[in-house]
Amino acid sequence: MDVNEIRHMDHDKKKKIGLLMGILCALYWGVWYVPGYTIYQSPLVGDVYGNMLEAGAGEDLALVFQALFLTFINAAACAILLFVWNGGLGKTRELARTFVQFRAVTKYYVVAGICGAIAVSGTYIAALFLSPGFAAVAGLLYPIVGTIMSVLYLKQKVSKRAYYAVIVLVAGGITLYGGSIIADPSIQIYGLIGGLMAAFGWGFEGVAAAKALDLTEPDIGIHLRFIFEALFWTVVMIVIFACGFPIFDTISWLFDPTTFLMVLMIGLSFAWCYVSWYKSFPMIGLARGQAIGSLYAAFGVIFLCIFLGPAEGLKYTDDTMAMIVGSTILGLIICLFGAYLLATEDSEEMASIRDGD
């Protein structure tokens, strides 16, 4: 085998690792919806709503506080679990070395953490006020924001085929939930705001992270991002508490084994989803990484159907079954085609994601 053949194989491997990371991200993200959904049944999150109402919050505000509390638990679980991950990889010293370089790189992770915090709470809010389907669709628009910014701000090159794949994957994701939105078209302003928060939050988070990932390890980057998100939510929780709302009253439920297991599952699936999302960016570029990551909508639907049953997962009744199931299957097929477009792209196209000289 000569040098060029090995080099071509290396480029192929790099592309495969990048795509695999994107798919793993989508898988973990999809799986996360299951504990993310069921945790509302646990008193840790479930009782927050009642407590807020008792403390004098209106119904809408109580729902928002409940969503923010869950986002706080989610971020804190991820930040703690990633210490185990980076400890196992032998990267704790690199974490400390990177953390102190605030002006050079770490500041971007503060931005990424806050954008991520806005996005995740946005999906919860959209899911609460509209429907989980609408939340997912709104979130799916993030690769468009990410792709535009990756070209304008990060100066990454995006091939024509990658543009097509982004469009096809986004269209597939929207089709997936199209049926449930048509079946229940009521739109509430809070839900719309939540949806926009998700799309712009994740889009801009990817951009800030990709900027810092130029010079940091993805495992370290994602950990810093979660540390800052957890800190951000801790401050928000303390402010809510200081305003007289007993937001921490249910926290002792963390010691209940079932609740603890749920939090552990939420943390592991979300942390690994993000680890693989960040790892895909250097390999295949922001646009492709985000596009393939948007397959989470497809995996989310599949896992919700497996664990909660099709009727509960897709939320259809006898009247709307044909439309919702039909659009879901059509959406899945379109997503598969989008993933195929990316997977069959020539690996030399993405040997370097910027024009080097």
Residues lying near other proteins in the complex (CB under 8 A):
1, 3, 6-7, 10, 14, 90, 93-94, 97-98, 100-105, 213-217, 220, 282-283, 350-357
Burial 54-80 (b: 16+ CB within 10 A, else e): ebebeeeebbbbbbbbbbbbbbbbbbb
Contact 268, 144 (CB under 8 A): no
Q: How many CB atoms are located within 10 Å of the residue 41 CB?
A: 12
Residue 322 host element (H or E): helix 321-343
What is the Cα–Cα distance from 169 to 332, expressed in whole angstroms? Answer: 10
CB of 91 to other proteins, least distance (A): 8
Residue 281 beta carbon to other proteins: minimum distance, rounded to whole angstroms: 9
Nearest to 69, CA basis, from 265, 262, 272, 249: 249
Nearer to other proteins, 180 or 347 (CB): 347
- As measured in angstroms, the least distance from the Cβ of 279 to other proteins is 9
User: What is the number of other CB atoms lying within 10 angstroms of the CB of residue 238?
Assistant: 12
- C-beta of 84 vs 104, nearer to other proteins: 104
User: For residues 105 and 287, which CB has a smaller minimum distance to other proteins in the complex?
Assistant: 105
| Shortest separation between residue 215's beta carbon and other proteins, angstroms | 5
Which residues are CB-neighbours of 355 under 8 A, at least 6 positions away? 157
CA distance 41 to 275: 28
Q: How far is the CB of 2 from other proteins (least distance, A)?
A: 8
Q: Which is nearer to other proteins, 103 or 160 (CB)?
A: 103
Q: Are 355 and 185 in contact (CB under 8 A)?
A: no
Nearer to other proteins by Cβ, of 105 and 236: the residue is 105
What sign for the dihedral angle of Cα 314, 198, 15, 168?
positive
Nearer to other proteins, 216 or 269 (CB): 216
Closer residue to other proteins (CB): 25 or 353: 353
Q: Closest separation between CB of residue 301 and other proteins, Å?
A: 32
CA angle 191, 197, 200 (to 5 degrees): 140
Minimum separation from the CB atom of position 112 to other proteins (A): 16
CB of 142 to other proteins, least distance (A): 21
d(CA 175, CA 274): 25
Please state, in angstroms and rounded to a whole number, the distance separating the CA atoms of residues 295 and 170.
Answer: 9
Which C-beta is closer to other proteins: that of 14 or that of 253?
14
